[in-house]
Structure 1
Amino acid sequence: MSYQPYDPTAPQPLSANPYPAVSHHSPAPRVVVQVPPASGAATASMVFGILGVLGGWCLFGLPCILAVILGHLGLHETRKGTKSGRGMAVAGLVLGYVFVGPMIAFTIMLFFGAAVGAVSPTPTP
Structure 2
Amino acid sequence: MRATSLAAGGLACAGAAMTIAAFAGGGQALPKPTPAHAVTTADRGAQVFIEQGCGSCHTFAPANARGGIGPDLALSLNGRTRAYVLQSIVAPNAEVAQGWNPDTMPGDYGQRIAPEDLVPLADYLLKGAE
Name the TM tier (shorter chain).
under 0.3
Per the normalisation by structure 2, the TM-score is 0.21
Per the normalisation by structure 1, the TM-score is 0.22
Structure with larger Rg = 1
